Chains A and B, each alone.
Chain A
């Protein structure tokens, strides 16, 4: 029983480490995809957010401010994507790919320019990171410490998920953004400014992806290095498709990936099972869940198609 409780604590702990960056980015991706703009630049937006978060925290010592700035940096790249895809009707996949090259390039270049030609940023003080809730209340290694002593931004992401759900399904703006992803021409006929709605959504997707990146450098670890964001953005996009383009579905999908990290941790503690099999857990679980429970995900009808205003 004791070891069960300990392991449960560890499982929650690992989930709370792995899930938040994915979920921030996935919620961002929901905005963009549902409004009709494919955004595979999430990965690059996370990287620039990770870099900005680490650097701002290093210079200002304010974790929350740095976290917000990470989001703003992501939003800036969201704006670039929006200008290319919405105003200039560029191919959305190509623009997203370009951002995935451009953003990490700028991050590494800036890092070298700022920090004596080093591609790693200096480590941020613990005080300059996002604060932890329940820090120092429970003894290290206890169930409650593992389960509850997490970064505040890890709890915040679930609040954000609830807000995003509310915006999507309970507000007029949410209805409009979903409509723009299905039939923008009809929206235009009804007097909705499709460009404006899509601009807001793509910039928001960059902002949330930037927060996801900043979470990694301000909570998971405490510095930026070029390999800090490797594939999380793409997993977030996969989680959105897996979750049928809904914030609640994406949340469950990201939690599933997080729980799988926890299972990996627990499964490898005995050193009996081959580590190569253990590394397969998240992907095998995803495929099984996809086949058994999820079924067909319906892509928003106008997703990926440039919209031309009526003359």
Chain B
């Protein structure tokens, strides 16, 4: 029921948007966005990609509209709606839409698609796959953690040990150790993205064992991590979006995926007629990942050090590990959760 209400609400908003824009000139394009079940206000990548499109509407004068999916079954229907309405580009948000995107792209070879966080459709000419180097963002916040810790002990709370999620861990551990080779990294697998209570007690455990900076890559469980840090007066590091709003005094920085930049770029490329299929990887160099824009809690010297490391990564002098092999070749078997 909540999802249905949300869809009805979103539908009303989307309808009013589209009604307001029917009078636009012919030389513009229309972009449709299909969310996954998180909905357009998930404070994560759905919201972020819609913000990118809103920016594109202002800057480039494109027309954009979103459809929210309340269940997995809605993906195909929502994509079909945009196909029927002859949209120029359809952006599918999240790897959960991969199958529906592939099906629609194969059926409509003239229709342009883009998908976020998935590379399985890269063989289709009409699909652009937008991937993010989360290991680089994690490396940066790890570097910050390594420089900030006074107890030489930092923490990491993981939502689930999958291949993609472990990239957060490899990047983070590498960053911490490069900044502070003596640091101990406590690592806990909450094994759940929606259990704030367990996230909180596991973080309390790390704090008890000396951690004074804790990074979470654990979705909703991470709220518990941030709360535990707030209560104990130690630093927390957020993920995906700028989580400083949750606890301004506690959140040191966040490992951000700039999904908004990706959706903006892909809309722009479509408008200019330069959009191509295949994989586009967003990394530090293309401003696709970064630390959060809020830097109130970061001292000057840490900020400067992070800027330097950014340049080194962009120049290729520092290579951030993404896989178990790459990580263990440089740092040994430090990461325990894979």
Q: A220–B205 contact, CB under 8 A? A: no
List which B197-221 residues lie within 8 A (CB) of chain A: 197-198, 200-202, 204-205, 207-210, 220
Q: A6–B208 contact, CB under 8 A? A: yes
Q: B187's closest neighbor in chain A, by CB?
A: A271
A: contact size bracket? 35 or more
Please tell me which stretch of A105-113, A174-182, A193-201 contacts chain B, meaning at least 4 of its Cβ atoms lie within 8 angstroms of it. Answer: A105-113
Closest Cβ–Cβ distance, residue B76 to chain A (whole Å):
24
- Chain B contacts for A262, CB-based, 8 A: 201
| Residues 254-279 of chain A, each 1 if its beta carbon lies under 8 Å from chain B, else 0 | 00000001101110110100011011
Closest Cβ–Cβ distance, residue A118 to chain B (whole Å):
5
Q: B41–A112 contact, CB under 8 A? A: yes
* B223: interface (CB < 8 Å): yes
B6, B13, B201, B231: the one contacting A14 at CB < 8 Å is B201
Q: A225–B223 contact, CB under 8 A? A: yes
- Chain B contacts for A227, CB-based, 8 A: 194, 220
Closest Cβ–Cβ distance, residue A236 to chain B (whole Å):
13
List which A3-60 residues lie within 8 A (CB) of chain B: 6, 9-10, 13-14, 17-18, 21
Q: B223–A109 contact, CB under 8 A? A: no
Q: A102's closest neighbor in chain B, by CB?
A: B1
Asked, given contacts A223-B223, A279-B192, whether A141 binds B208 with beta carbons under 8 Å apart, the answer is yes
* B227: interface (CB < 8 Å): yes
B161, B202, B210, B220: the one contacting A141 at CB < 8 Å is B210
A-B contact count (CB 8 A): 129
List which B214-245 residues lie within 8 A (CB) of chain A: 220, 223-224, 226-227, 230-234, 245
* A246: interface (CB < 8 Å): no
Q: B2–A226 contact, CB under 8 A? A: yes
Q: B193's closest neighbor in chain A, by CB?
A: A227
Asked, given contacts A13-B201, A101-B2, A141-B208, whether A221 binds B196 with beta carbons under 8 Å apart, the answer is yes
B2, B187, B198: the one contacting A265 at CB < 8 Å is B198
Asked, given contacts A118-B41, A228-B220, A266-B205, whether A126 binds B230 with beta carbons under 8 Å apart, the answer is yes
B1, B13, B230: the one contacting A105 at CB < 8 Å is B1
The A interface, classified by DSSP as helix, strand, loop or mixed, is: helix
* A300: interface (CB < 8 Å): no
Q: How far is the CA of A18 from the CA of B201 in the complex (A)?
A: 9
* A96: interface (CB < 8 Å): no
List which A214-244 residues lie within 8 A (CB) of chain B: 216, 220-223, 225-228, 230
* B319: interface (CB < 8 Å): no
Q: A228–B1 contact, CB under 8 A? A: no
Q: How far is the CA of A221 from the CA of B198 in the complex (A)?
A: 11
- Chain B contacts for A230, CB-based, 8 A: 194-195
Q: B224–A220 contact, CB under 8 A? A: yes
Asked, given contacts A10-B205, A17-B197, A279-B192, whether A220 binds B227 with beta carbons under 8 Å apart, the answer is yes
Asked, given contacts A119-B42, A275-B161, whether A225 binds B247 with beta carbons under 8 Å apart, the answer is no
* B336: interface (CB < 8 Å): yes
Q: B198–A264 contact, CB under 8 A? A: yes
Asked, given contacts A102-B1, A140-B232, A223-B246, whether A271 binds B337 with beta carbons under 8 Å apart, the answer is yes
- Chain B contacts for A21, CB-based, 8 A: 197
- Chain A contacts for B207, CB-based, 8 A: 140-141
* B298: interface (CB < 8 Å): no
- Chain A contacts for B224, CB-based, 8 A: 220-221
- Chain A contacts for B234, CB-based, 8 A: 140
B2, B194, B200: the one contacting A220 at CB < 8 Å is B200
Question: Other than the known A13-B204, A18-B201, A227-B220, what 15 A-B pairs have Cβ atoms closer than 8 Å?
Answer: A13-B201, A104-B2, A109-B6, A123-B247, A140-B207, A140-B233, A141-B207, A216-B196, A221-B223, A261-B201, A265-B204, A268-B189, A269-B205, A271-B187, A271-B189
The 10 A-B residue pairs with the shortest CB-CB distance in the complex, in nearest-first order? A14-B201, A101-B1, A105-B1, A105-B2, A275-B191, A271-B336, A275-B189, A141-B208, A108-B2, A221-B223
Q: Can you list 16 contacts pairing A with B, beta carbon distance less than 8 Å?
A: A9-B208, A10-B201, A17-B201, A18-B198, A101-B1, A105-B1, A112-B6, A119-B39, A123-B246, A126-B230, A140-B232, A221-B196, A228-B196, A228-B220, A268-B191, A275-B161
Which A residues form the contact surface with B (CB < 8 A)? Answer: 6, 9-10, 13-14, 17-18, 21, 101-102, 104-105, 107-109, 112, 117-120, 122-123, 126, 132, 140-141, 146, 216, 220-223, 225-228, 230, 261-262, 264-266, 268-269, 271, 275-276, 278-279
